Amino acid sequence: MGKVLYRDVSIIEEVSGCLLCNNAPCTKACPHGLEADSIIRSIRFENYWGAAAKIPDNVPCVGCETKDCMKVCLKGKINRPVNIDEIIINASSYGKEELGKIDLSIEFCGIECENPFFLSSSVVGSNYEMVAKAFEMGWAGVAFKTIGTFAAKEVSPRFEALRKEAVPFVGFENIEQISEHTLEENVLYIKQLKKDYPNKVIIASIMGRNEEEWTYLAKLMTYAGADIIECNFSCPHMAENGLGSDVGQNPELVAAYTKAVRKGTDIPVLAKMTPNLGNMEVPAIAAINAGADGIAAINTIKSIIRVNLDSFASAPEVKGKTSVGGYSGKAVKPIALRFIQSMKSCSELKDVPVSGMGGIETWRDAAEFMALGCKTIQVTTAVMQYGYRIINDMIEGMKYYLSSHGYKSIREIVGKALPQVVPPENLDRSSICLPKFDRSKCLGCGRCYLSCYDGGHQALKQDQSTGKPVLIAEKCAGCHLCLVVCPVKAISQGVRFCKKLEPELCKAQ
């Protein structure tokens, strides 16, 4: 009974402890031929149906006495091996879902893409070999690492991560600039990639230092065979002033440089927006009015990730010093979604194609960006952490989601969430939704009580004998802080009602 109740909690907790090894020893050791590492990755990236589909009906882990997979698990060298057999048994209970014929292709700025998944402009797509490997694995396209007329000189080190509790990678900071390769090398990379992969989409990200350079780079990228040009108006940590986000915060410069790019090319042009401002619509509108065909958003957020309290140096530390860097990763996703929604709700931008990025790790993240109006999505930080292989679960997970909800094409979900985001004055403030407690799941840990009393409305008591919560309905404001902090998902939304018109329902809760 316990395993059934806590399946979703326990499986996620166990999977999060997996090291996600390359050439995983657990799979090599499995006497039943199960791809344990692939199953675990699918769960980690929220592709539960995909995980279940990899497990035969007669689950071989049930009754397996050898546990060879766990004997070789590298996590065991740290503390204990991952409970691989338990993960697979639990995953098999998600059941099999029939996968109908799903079309993931989408049109973006007049160009057909086999799926919406692109690498964003960064180190993950900075030479021929890397991009070719990504294309072979299923990525539809790449925004090639930003190309300038100069090759950037980088520092070492230039990456740092933000951690919380046992989570090693909540957010990520970099102080890396544009391509370290020469202009000639980058042109050759793009030419060869387009020759070898004519059906993949190549976005050439460029950055000039004046109008002449922007025009010149646009001409070169068009000559090289790029499908789209992306103007990097948003890098937050260039070594020279007047580049990157310095441009993106200045609508006049955005317009001037966009016109310069349009002068040099007849292919679609994207303006990549900086989040280091309050209103992204202003420079976005300037770019569109100046000839851009679409928007890419968001780039990284200016940040200082931490301070070493022994040396008082920040990170990444370069001989005791650092500079303000660009913050990315899962932690920036809500900020990115907010900017996307604001632009797609703007009358001047509502029909403008958007390529979204910022904290995308799974198919679910991608679907949320698309539901708010993006047609394609771009990924870097998750690839840096987990590798190009995440594309497998992005594609498969998206197909299962669409199929299970009756969609035939990914195009059907684009923008579907936009009507649900309304101004605060349009929200219903006449009713309340009290929490609902599943006491068979409740452990009696008191987390909900502590949060409600110290951070809410003192609307919960803790039963003296069981430790389980008792709601004081007349004090409850329906804020659902208790639901958010419950570690076992034993709290859900109850019925919604009006306290004044239906006071008896308040008591019934």
Q: Which of helix, strand or coil describes residue 202?
A: strand
The pLDDT assigned to 97 comes to: 82
Q: Do domains 112-420 and 431-508 have the same CATH topology?
A: no
pLDDT digits (tens, 9 = 90+) for 351-392: 999 999 999 999 999 999 999 999 999 999 999 999 999 999
Work out the pLDDT band at 464, boundaries 50, 70, 90.
very high
Q: How many helices (H) and strands (E) does the chain have?
A: 20, 18
Of these residues, 73, 235, 448, 486, which one is catalytic? 235
Q: List the CATH code of the domain at 2-92.
A: 1.10.1060.10
pLDDT band at 504 (very low <50, low <70, confident <90, very high): low
pLDDT reported for residue 401:
97
Mean predicted confidence (pLDDT) in 222-250: 92
Residue 509 clears pLDDT 50, i.e. is over it: no
CATH number of 112-420: 3.20.20.70
Is the preceding peptide bond at 316 cis, omega within 30 degrees of 0? yes
Quick: pLDDT tens for 395-428. 999 999 999 999 999 999 999 999 999 999 999 9
What is residue 95's predicted lDDT score, i.e. its pLDDT? 82
Closest to 275 in 3D by CA, of 248, 295, 293? 248
pLDDT at 503 over 70: no
Where on the phi/psi map is residue 46: left (φ > 0), alpha (ψ -120 to 50), or beta?
left
Please write the tens of the pLDDT for every residue from 317-351.
Answer: 999 999 999 999 999 999 999 999 999 999 999 99
pLDDT given at position 6: 86
The whole-chain average pLDDT of the chain stands at 94
Cis upstream peptide for 157 (omega within 30°): yes
Residue spans per domain, the chain: 2-92, 112-420, 431-508
Extract the tokens encoding 428: 């219903």
Instruction: Answer whether residue 3 shows pLDDT above 90.
Output: no
Of the pLDDT bands very low, low, confident and very high (cuts 50, 70, 90), residue 177 is: very high
Question: Is 442 known to be catalytic?
Answer: no
Amino acid at 189: Y
pLDDT for 2 beyond 80 = no
Here the tokens at position 5 are 């109740």
Scored b (16 or more CB within 10 A) or e, 199-215 reads ebbbbbbbbbeebebbb
CATH number given to 431-508: 3.30.70.20
How many Cβ atoms sit within 10 Å of the Cβ of residue 10?
17
Percent of the chain with pLDDT over 70: 97
Which pLDDT does position 7 carry in this prediction? 86
pLDDT score for 241: 82
Average pLDDT over residues 114-123: 98
**Nearest in space to 356 (alpha carbons), one of 371, 342, 336:** 336
Q: Which two tokens stand for residue 199?
A: 């059906």
